[in-house]
Amino acid sequence: MDAKPARLRLHDLQLAQGNRTVLEHIDGEFRDGAITALIGANGTGKSTLIQGIMGMLKPIAGRVECRVPRERRAWLPQQLALDLTFPMSVEELVMTGSWPSHGALKGYCAAHYRRGREIMARLGISHLAHRPLGELSGGQRQRALLGRTLMQEAKLLLLDEPFANVDAETVEVLMTVLRDMAKEGATIIVVLHDMEQLSRLADEAVVLTGGHARWVPVESFAQPGGTLPVPFLSQAISGVSAC
């Protein structure tokens, strides 16, 4: 266990959508340099928690303590919520990752372009650099969006179902980049529905059920009959397809 408190901690957090409380008494921390999987059945509040952590949803009670500077926080929303019809190329999207720290109106220098090209190569999307976002497949779009967070040098990265409708090869590329980012110290939270992906990617897991969150060891998911009580686990993942 680290002696230093984690950069992201939740203190008795309560979040609501409309007038209805979705989550309450959420207490816990997300380890620096680790990938935490956020799991739970549909409607249990995974996206709500992410909105709360990003400050887009004001808590009803409690607080989010986040010591990552705003310009280093990134969020990849659930795919369905994305509107990428904005006329912009893949390269332009990746380059916007420099805006939070560099500013949107200053233009880019040669070093920015060089870094953008390196990032696109790392994600296997160099050949798509000038392709408009509206003409990308789901997996290509996810690679480009992750490229933007690399450009941003994100130290807190929240991904809401990043592998939905993404082919196996793209999942591998995205997982490798996420693991590298965690190794470099980023705090990563990823909403997942697939237990196999969870056991391969995550260091920790948080299960949402009945309005509460529970931090559980990843091994609980890897082994049948692990430390997590079976009824709790089935309740947590019920209604979730093995995509």
Task: Give the footprint of ligand ATP on this chain (CB under 6 A).
Answer: 17-18, 22, 40, 42-48, 78
Q: How far apart are CA 192 and CA 95, in angstroms?
A: 27
**Minimum distance between the CB of residue 48 and Mg ion, rounded to whole angstroms?**
8
Annotate each residue in 77-116 with x if it binds Mg ion (CB under 5 A) or - if it does not, as one string.
-x--------------------------------------
List the beta bridge partners of residue 205: 37, 216
Q: Does 187 bind Mg ion (CB under 5 A)?
A: no
Q: How far apart are CA 7 and CA 29, in angstroms?
A: 8
Buried (b) or exposed (e) across 26-58, using 16+ Cβ within 10 A? bebbbbbbbbbbbbbbeebbbbbbbbbbbeebe
Overall residue count recorded for the chain in this entry: 243
**Minimum distance between the CB of residue 211 and ligand ATP, rounded to whole angstroms?**
10
> Which two three-digit tokens encode residue 180?
């590298």
Residues that contact Mg ion, how many (by CB under 5 A): 3
Residue 141 contacts residue 100 (beta carbons within 8 Å): no
**Minimum distance between the CB of residue 195 and Mg ion, rounded to whole angstroms?**
17
**Nearest residue (beta carbon) to Mg ion:** 47
- Choose the binding region for Mg ion from 58-66, 71-79, 115-123, 178-186 (rule: CB under 5 A): 71-79
**Minimum distance between the CB of residue 134 and ligand ATP, rounded to whole angstroms?**
24
**Minimum distance between the CB of residue 19 and ligand ATP, rounded to whole angstroms?**
9
If contact means CB under 5 to 8 A according to the sort of partner, which of Mg ion, ligand ATP, none does residue 42 touch? ligand ATP
Q: How far apart are CA 41 and CA 157, in angstroms?
A: 22
If contact means CB under 5 to 8 A according to the sort of partner, which of Mg ion, ligand ATP, none does residue 147 touch? none
> Which two three-digit tokens encode residue 12?
């008795």
**Minimum distance between the CB of residue 47 and Mg ion, rounded to whole angstroms?**
3
Cβ proximity to Mg ion: between 47 and 79 the closer is: 47
Cβ proximity to ligand ATP: between 88 and 164 the closer is: 164
Q: Which runs of E-coded beta strand occur in the chain?
A: 8-17, 20-30, 35-39, 61-66, 73-76, 156-160, 187-191, 204-209, 212-217
Helix or strand (DSSP H, E) at 231: helix 230-237
Q: How far apart are CA 78 and CA 71, in angstroms?
A: 21
Among residues 8, 23, 45, 47, the one that binds Mg ion under rule CB under 5 A = 47
If contact means CB under 5 to 8 A according to the sort of partner, which of ligand ATP, Mg ion, none does residue 43 touch? ligand ATP
Cβ proximity to Mg ion: between 78 and 235 the closer is: 78
> For binding to Mg ion (CB under 5 A), which residues are involved?
46-47, 78
